Structure 1
Amino acid sequence: MPEVIFPGPEGRLEGRYHPQSQPDAPIAIILHPDPQYGGTMNNRVVYNLHYAFHNMGFTVLRFNFRGVGRSQGEYDQGVGELSDAASALDYLQAMNPNSKHCWVAGFSFGAWIGMQLLMRRPEITGFVSVAPPANMYDFSFLAPCPSSGLIINGTADRVAPPKDTQALVSKLRDQKGITITHHEVEGADHFFRDDEQHMKPMIETVQGYVRRRLTEGSR
C-alpha cells in the first residue's frame, strides 16, 4: 500500500492510500483516535477498518493528524484536526473525481472528528462511528445530522461508557430523514482487544451495514 504525503493546513500530512482499479469506486477516509493518548493511523481498529472498506471495493485513505508520525503541525484540540480531515477528503476526491459515493469512518476521537466533517461536507453519503466518546466531547452540533450511519461500541467500554453512546443514538434518532443504526459488541472494551470475540464481530457488522447501504443506493 503506497505511502502518500499530501498538503494539509499546517504543512504536509502523512497517509496510506489504497486505490481500486475501477475509476468510479466509492471512497472512504478513516480517522484515528486521540493523538494525546498515542492514537495514530496504525491503530488496530483504524487498520482493520481501512482493510474492511478496501475489501468492499472502496478506495481508502487513512492518515496521521497534525503532529503525529511524519505529519507536520501540533495537536490542536480537534479544531485543526477537523481541518486536516477536510484536507484529506479534498486529496482523496481530487485523486478520484469519478467516485459517486463518499464515506467517513472514525474511531473514538476520530469518530468525533468524522461526525463534524459530516456537517461540513454534504457529499458524504454515509458514516461509521466506532466507540464515539460522547462522554468527553459535545456532539450537539449534529442538529440536524445530515447523513445516515452506523454507531458501534462495546458493552464493556470504560473509556466511552455505553450509556453515553446510547444517549447520543437516542438524540440522533429523534431527527427526521435519516436512519441511525446502532450495534453493541457484547463484552468488548473501547479497543476491541480480543480479535475473535470483539474485533472480528465489529468489522463484520461494519461490512454488513455498508454493503447493505451500497446495495440500497440510499443516503
Structure 2
Amino acid sequence: MPEVIFPGPEGRLEGRYHPQKNKDAPVAIILHPHPQFGGTMNNKVVYNLHYAFHEMGFTVLRFNFRGVGRSQGEYDQGVGELSDAASALDYLQALNPNAKGCWVAGFSFGAWIGMQLLMRRPEIQGFISVAPPANMYDFSFLAPCPSSGLIINGSGDRVVPPADIVSLSDKLKQQKGITITHEVIEGAGHFFDPGMEEMIGHVDAYVRRRMTETSR
C-alpha cells in the first residue's frame, strides 16, 4: 500500500492510500483518534476499518493529522484537524474523479471530526462513527444530520460512557429523512480488545447493505 504525502493547510500530510483497479470504485476516508493521546493512522481500529473498506471495494485513504508522524503542523483543538480532513478528501477525490460514492469513518476523536466533515461535504453519502466521544465534545452541530450512518461502541467503554452515545444516537434518530443505526458490542472497551472482529463485522454488514440499496 503506497505511502503518500499530500498538501494540507499547514504543510505536508502523511497518509496510506489503497486504490482499487476499478476507476469508478467508491472512496472512503478513515480518521484516527486524538493526536495528544497517542492517536495515529496506525491505530488498530483505524487500520482494521481501512482494510474492511478496501475489501468491500472502496479506494481508501487514512492519514495522520497535523503534528502526528511525518505530518507537519501542530495540534489545533480539532479546528485544524477538520481542515486536514477536508484536504485529505480533496486529495482522494482528485485522484478518483469518477468515484461512485463517498464515505467517512472515524474512531473516537476521529469520529467527531468525521461528523463535522459530513456537515461540510454534501457528497458524503454514509458514515461510520466508532465510539464517538459524546461526553467530551458537542455534537449539536448535527442539526440536521445530512446522511444516514452507523454509530458503534462497546458496552464496556470507560473512555466514552455508553449512555452518552445512546443519548447522541437517540437525538439523531429523531431527525427525519435519515436512518441512524446504533450497534453495541457487548463486553468491548474503547479500543475493542476484545471485540474488534465483531465490530468490523457489523461495519462490513452495514456498509454492504447500504451499497446494495444504493445500486438498485
TM above 0.5: yes
- Measure the CA separation in 1 of the matches of 2:87 and 2:193: 31
Deviation sequence 1:16-35 (CA, Å, 0-9, x none): 00000000000000000001
Write the mapping of 1:110-149 to structure 2, written as runs, cut at 5 A. 110-149=110-149
Q: What letter corresponds to residue 76 of structure 2 in structure 1? A: D
- Residue 208 of structure 1 aligns with which residue? 205
Task: Give 1:159 shift.
Answer: 0.3
Q: Return the alpha-carbon distance in structure 2 between the equivalents of residues 137 and 190 of structure 1.
A: 16
Shift of 1:212: 0.1
Matched with 1:34 is 34
Measured in 2, the distance between the counterparts of 1:161 and 1:153 equals 10
Structure 1 residue aligned with 2:45? 45
1:159 is the counterpart of 2:159:
yes
Q: State the alpha-carbon separation in 2 of the partners of residues 170 and 108 from structure 1.
A: 18
The equivalent residue for 2:19 is 19
What secondary structure does 1:70 align onto? coil
Shift of 1:131: 0.3
Separation of aligned partners in 1, 2:14 and 2:167: 35
Structure 2 unmatched runs, 5+? none
TM-score by length of structure 2 reads 0.99
Q: Distance in 2 between matches of 1:77 and 1:110?
A: 12
Per-residue deviation at 1:100? 1.6
Once superposed, which parts of structure 1, at least 4 consecutive aligned residues long, lie more than 2 Å away?
none
* 1-structure distance, mates of 2:72, 2:127: 27
**Cα distance in structure 1, aligned partners of 2:118 and 2:129:** 11
TM-score (norm 1): 0.98
One-letter amino acid of the structure 1 residue matched with residue 196 of structure 2: M
CA distance in 1, matches of 2:13, 2:214: 32
Give the residue type in structure 2 aligned to 1:39: G
Q: Residue 73 of structure 1 aligns to which amino acid in structure 2?
A: G
Deviations 1:187-206 (CA, angstroms, capped at 9, x unpaired): 00000012xxx000000000
Say whether 1:199 aligns with 2:199: no
Count of residue pairs the alignment pairs up: 215
Distance in 2 between the 1:98 and 1:35 partners?
A: 32
Establish whether residue 6 from structure 1 lines up as the match of residue 3 from structure 2.
no
Amino acid at match of 2:84: D
Output one character per residue of 1:90-146: Cα deviation in whole Å (capped at 9) or x when no partner. 000000000020000000000000000000000000000000000000000000000
| Deviation per residue, 1:146-184 (Å, 9 max, x gap) | 000000000000101100000000100110000000000
**Whole-angstrom CA distance in 2 between matches of 1:144 and 1:158:** 29
- SS of the counterpart of 2:199? helix
SS of the counterpart of 2:127? Answer: strand
Query: Where do residues 61-80 of structure 1 align in structure 2 (5 Å cutoff)?
Result: 61-80=61-80
Amino acid of the residue matched to residue 124 of structure 1? Answer: I
Secondary structure in structure 2 of the residue aligned to 1:217 = helix
Q: Distance in 2 between matches of 1:140 and 1:158?
A: 23
